[in-house]
Amino acid sequence: MSRTFIIFVIFLLIPLFAFAGTFGSRNLIHIQTGSTLDPGHLDFRTNLRFYTKVAEFLGQNKPANFSSYNVWVVQSNALLSYGLMDHVDVTVMNRIYQDLNRGSKEYNSPEDIFIDVKIGSFGLNNNRFHTGILTQVRIPTQGENYNYAFEPYTAGAYEYGLTGLFSFFNDPYLHDRSFSLHANLGWYNHNDAGKTLLKIGTQEFRADGNATELQYGLGFSYPTELFDLNLELWGSAFINEPDSLALSRDSYLYFTPSITFKPKPWMSFDLGLDIRLSSVSESFKYSHLNLPMYPGWKMYMGLNFTLMPIARTSPGSKSDIKSKVDFFESLLRERQRTRSIEDELRRLRKEREQAEKELEELRQMLEEQK
């Protein structure tokens, strides 16, 4: 049975068993919004990213026994997000499959666990803006099978980061009814000092210091009744670069157009394409092959569900509609209260004007009596 077939079967079966597993808070493919899930709200997602390229020999001195072959870079994840309380949600992700493209072992499955805690949905300007903070932790599970090529750098340590979140919603009352803009800026520590990057026989080569990076991104989303059209610009710039033996040690920049199909209020499908914009001048040429350090493109497919929560239900449900009705009723009550205050001010103004008129008449009468 081929590895490609196994990957395809895993992706099809994930939705059947992973309802006891995991996926992500309010976000696009790569960009997080400043909003959090409502308390009791539970979301599940699974996704598959893949890239392939024919590895060809560069140069004139091609070995006689060399033949071109396909390089595969496949990654699959499953996640759950849960709204703990107002302004706080938690996401737990398991990387189900990751191609290695190094050594005798071809892939990690399952791989690391990721835990994100988001504190957000702090509204500004009548809820038109949302701000928040995302904390990230990566927990390694595979021991020595890290520092693989064609993926963002990792050396198999406990990694952690902190990201600031900012969102603008054109419709301040129903955020999913009009376009929105999102920005992320974060710091990430790979915590890799002393981790083994390469092993040749009994000799191990370890990282000298901790690699840190600045992660950033901008996102745009335009919703319609059945589709969301999304654009994302995202990347990473190293503050402290990884060791020279790291297979992914350059900064990168990607552009990702994507579309989300929403046939049901509780289910959606994602399709996106990562397109590398950063230069390939620092390409990783392994054994004189035409392989870049980061893929020029990567396809993304995702499947998303809203599970029935304890306290709140999915958008479009009776509970969700009731909450929106209550919100608008509170706005009407506030508007009516404002109108009553304005009416009272008008009445007081008229009474003051009448009193001033009567006082002026009394003054004239006193003047006439003199």
Q: Which helix (H) or strand (E) holds 346?
A: helix 318-369
Candidates 262, 285, 167; CA nearest to 221 is 167
Write down the H helix ranges in 220-302: none
* pLDDT for the residue numbered 103: 64
* pLDDT for the residue numbered 281: 58
Q: What is the CATH number of domain 3-312?
A: 2.40.160.40
* pLDDT for the residue numbered 320: 58
* pLDDT for the residue numbered 334: 72
Cα–Cα separations (whole angstroms), residue 103 to 107, 144, 147, 153, 197:
10, 11, 11, 17, 12
* pLDDT for the residue numbered 324: 65
Total Cβ atoms within 10 A of residue 247: 19
* pLDDT for the residue numbered 174: 83
* pLDDT for the residue numbered 20: 30
* pLDDT for the residue numbered 339: 76
Q: Extract the tokens encoding 103.
A: 């050594």
The pTM for the full model equals: 0.77
Q: Is the Cβ–Cβ distance between 138 and 105 less than 8 Å?
A: no
What is the C-alpha R_g of the chain? 29
Q: In whole angstroms, give the CA distance from residue 309 to residue 80.
A: 12
Find where tokens 């990783």 sit. 284
Q: In whole angstroms, give the CA distance from residue 125 to residue 169.
A: 11
* pLDDT for the residue numbered 102: 74
Q: What is the pLDDT along the chain (370 residues), one digit of tens a residue?
A: 455 544 444 444 443 333 333 334 678 999 999 999 999 999 999 999 999 988 777 767 777 777 777 888 999 999 999 999 999 999 999 999 999 887 667 889 999 999 999 999 999 988 899 999 999 999 999 877 899 888 999 999 999 999 999 999 998 888 888 999 999 999 999 999 999 888 887 888 899 889 999 999 999 999 998 999 999 999 999 999 999 888 888 899 999 999 999 998 889 999 999 999 998 654 555 556 778 889 999 999 999 999 866 444 445 454 555 566 666 667 677 777 777 777 778 888 888 888 888 788 778 877 777 6
